[in-house]
Amino acid sequence: MRPALNQAAASLAAVSDTPRLDAELLMAHALGVSREQLLLNQLDAPTPPAFAALLARRLRHEPIAYITGSRAFWTIELQVGPGVLIPRPDSETLIETAIAHFASRAPGAILDLGTGPGTLLLAALAEWPAARGLGIDASPPALGYARRNAAALGMADRAHFQGGDWAAGVDGRFDLILANPPYIGTSEPLPRDVAEHEPSAALYAGADGLDDYRTLIPQLRPLLAPGGAAILEIGSTQADAVTALLEAQGFAVALARDLAGHPRALIGT
């Protein structure tokens, strides 16, 4: 198996920034074990027959998460597939920001706008076991994944999902509102893995990438409970523009940076 991993990593260098990691994840998936189990116990085992087909898919720029059907995020594992935005580590900044805001108390009600496969809502519910939440998405495939993920994580009784256009028609008040809207400008280049496979509706938001912020930000204030927080993911160049949109709705705004030091989230209170 070691030679197969080496050859695969060499081939994947042309399509991936993490060729060795990709090769190991694909091999582990072909074996039906975790990557950790592969590295600890399986490196001298025969190469499984399924590996070649998985490698061929990755060489066509299909995302690893779609091939394996899952992606880790925060403390949870999420099922993902075509038609669903793949969770990114950068989005964990929103959960970190929420934890800092609610350091002395726990949010009871959480709203996740553009929930995708339930990413932010389920990560937050895992952090606060007494909380309940609502996830909104316009995509039926995404909502299907979100419901399956909630069930797999034992959260089906605490997480409800429904279709919608951001917060239009949503009732109630929420202690924590999370949102990772599309924020890519329509002319901005993206890697082939993303541009050719992930849903464009979850990526692009008009020429300047701000169209969805203009829609959803005016909806937030009536839904936010006293002492609550709305936390939005942003592109690394959008802090000033989205801050202005939030301030126009009466929010006090603070910036949170991701692990690379890039502007990644705004918290409005």
Q: Residues spanned by CATH 3.40.50.150 within the chain?
A: 71-268
* Torsion angle of C-alpha atoms 160, 171, 142, 179, degrees rounded to 10: -110
Q: How far is CA 97 from CA 134, 154, 187, in A?
A: 19, 24, 30
Place of tokens 């060795």: 20
Place of tokens 């541009």: 195
Place of tokens 């959960």: 95
For 241, residues 6+ apart whose C-beta sits below 8 A from its C-beta are: 208, 210, 213
Q: Can you name the CATH fold of 71-268?
A: Rossmann fold (3.40.50)
Closest of 1, 24, 21, 19 to residue 9, by C-alpha: 19
CA 154 to chain centre: 19
Closest of 222, 220, 202 to residue 143, by C-alpha: 202
Q: Residues spanned by CATH 1.10.8 within the chain?
A: 2-60
Q: Is the dihedral of CA 159, 160, 164, 168 positive or negative?
A: negative
- 10-residue mean pLDDT profile of the chain (269 residues): values are 96 97 97 96 95 98 98 98 97 98 97 98 98 98 98 98 97 98 97 97 97 98 97 98 98 97 98
Structural contact between residues 178 and 120, judged by C-beta atoms closer than 8 angstroms? yes
- Residue 194 Rama label (left phi>0; alpha psi -120 to 50; beta): alpha
CA distance 168 to 147: 21
pLDDT value at residue 168: 96
Q: Amino acid identity, residue 73?
A: F
pLDDT value at residue 29: 97
- Domain 2-60 carries which CATH code? 1.10.8
pLDDT value at residue 190: 96
Beta strands in 38-173 (DSSP E): 70-73, 76-79, 109-113, 132-137, 159-163
Output the DSSP codes for 115-136. -TTTHHHHHHHHH-TT-EEEEE
* Structure tokens given for 156: 């089906």
